[in-house]
Amino acid sequence: MNKWFISLAISLVISFLGLAYFVNFTAQDGCLDSGGLWLGALDGCDGGNGYSIQHLVSPLAIAIFLAIVLGISSALVQLYSILFKLHNTET
């Protein structure tokens, strides 16, 4: 059970860093390239491509984010289990 909590914490950190990178760099560059005015990470773009924080807090976006976090967590637990099993068969 501990490995689930550890991998869930790791996947949350990875996902939040990816989301912060997207908001701070990718969305900002897209806004400025399309001629908009970047108002900040929480306010989004005025004009241009129409990015705003409202898209990130919609129920669909939250569900997708949680699915990504659980997917990364599950993959980490499976990788840990495989490596642990390989280590036990070698010794």
Give the pLDDT means over successive 10-residue stretches in the chain (91 positions): 76 82 80 85 75 74 85 83 79 62
- The predicted structure's pLDDT at residue 1: 64
Q: How many CA atoms lie within 13 A of 77 on its CB side?
A: 16
- The predicted structure's pLDDT at residue 49: 67
Chain-centre distance for alpha carbon 84: 27
Residue 83's domain spans which residues?
Answer: 2-90
- The predicted structure's pLDDT at residue 91: 62
- Looking at the 3D structure of the chain, how many domains does it have? 1
- The predicted structure's pLDDT at residue 87: 76
51 within 8 A of 44, measured Cβ to Cβ:
yes
- The predicted structure's pLDDT at residue 21: 82
Q: Residue 32 has which token pair?
A: 């400025």
